[in-house]
């Protein structure tokens, strides 16, 4: 009887935790279909219900996209104010077709560099003038981003690929079958 109670208690505890959640720190994205193609970094006060996150994603065309993903009621598109390691920046995010709210287009390379090598970022939507900035710690961001983008390599067009070497594809026999090798000097 005791083992049934223990099993029931374990099942209750496991079922009470959210299966997918935006939690503080950097990890692979828990969103459906994202698997290990995206790294997601969320603010230190993120909960499954209220969150502000940045995602670095390998897009379908093998480009690298930097996205903002938040629980903001008015959506994620628009200007975002940020402080990246004491450097102030405003970046424009456009609506995204993917699972994230919006994608940074013009400043994506700059943001990717800062997310990989920086120490912290504060950000908030430009329309939320009186809202506090979300703080995202960048500890562990480089490793998580690099692991998520490991297979995200640009494809080289066929006319730019290295030519096939001049080696014959059919192997040549160096020895006659069923005959001993020639004696070698020792």
**Mean pLDDT in consecutive groups of 10 residues from the start of the chain, 186 residues:** 45 39 86 87 94 93 91 93 93 91 91 94 94 94 91 70 63 61 66
Residue 164: per-residue pLDDT: 65
Residue 19: per-residue pLDDT: 40
Residue 180: per-residue pLDDT: 64
- pTM value surpassing 0.75: no
Residue 21: per-residue pLDDT: 60
Residue 169: per-residue pLDDT: 58
User: Per CATH, which fold does 18-154 belong to?
Assistant: Immunoglobulin-like (2.60.40)
Q: What b/e readout covers 69-107, taking b as 16+ CB neighbours within 10 angstroms? A: bbebeeebbbebbbebeeeeeebebeebebebbbbbeeb
Residue 39: per-residue pLDDT: 94
């Amino acid at each position: 009887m005791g083992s049934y109670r223990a099993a029931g208690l374990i099942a209750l505890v496991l079922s009470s935790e959210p299966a997918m959640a935006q939690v503080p720190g950097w990890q692979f994205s828990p969103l459906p279909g994202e698997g290990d193609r995206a790294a997601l970094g969320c603010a230190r006060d993120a909960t499954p219900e209220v969150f502000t996150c940045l995602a670095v994603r390998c897009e379908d065309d093998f480009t690298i996209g930097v996205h903002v993903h938040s629980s903001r009621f008015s959506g994620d598109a628009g200007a975002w104010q940020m402080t990246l390691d004491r450097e102030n920046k405003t970046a424009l995010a456009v609506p995204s077709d993917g699972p994230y709210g919006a994608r940074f287009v013009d400043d994506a390379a700059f943001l990717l560099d800062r997310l990989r090598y920086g120490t912290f970022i504060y950000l908030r939507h430009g329309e939320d003038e009186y809202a506090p900035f979300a703080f995202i710690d960048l500890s562990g961001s480089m490793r998580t981003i690099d692991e998520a983008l490991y297979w995200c390599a640009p494809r080289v067009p066929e006319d730019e690929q290295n030519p096939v070497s001049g080696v014959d594809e059919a192997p040549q026999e160096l020895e006659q079958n069923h005959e001993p090798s020639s004696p070698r000097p020792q």
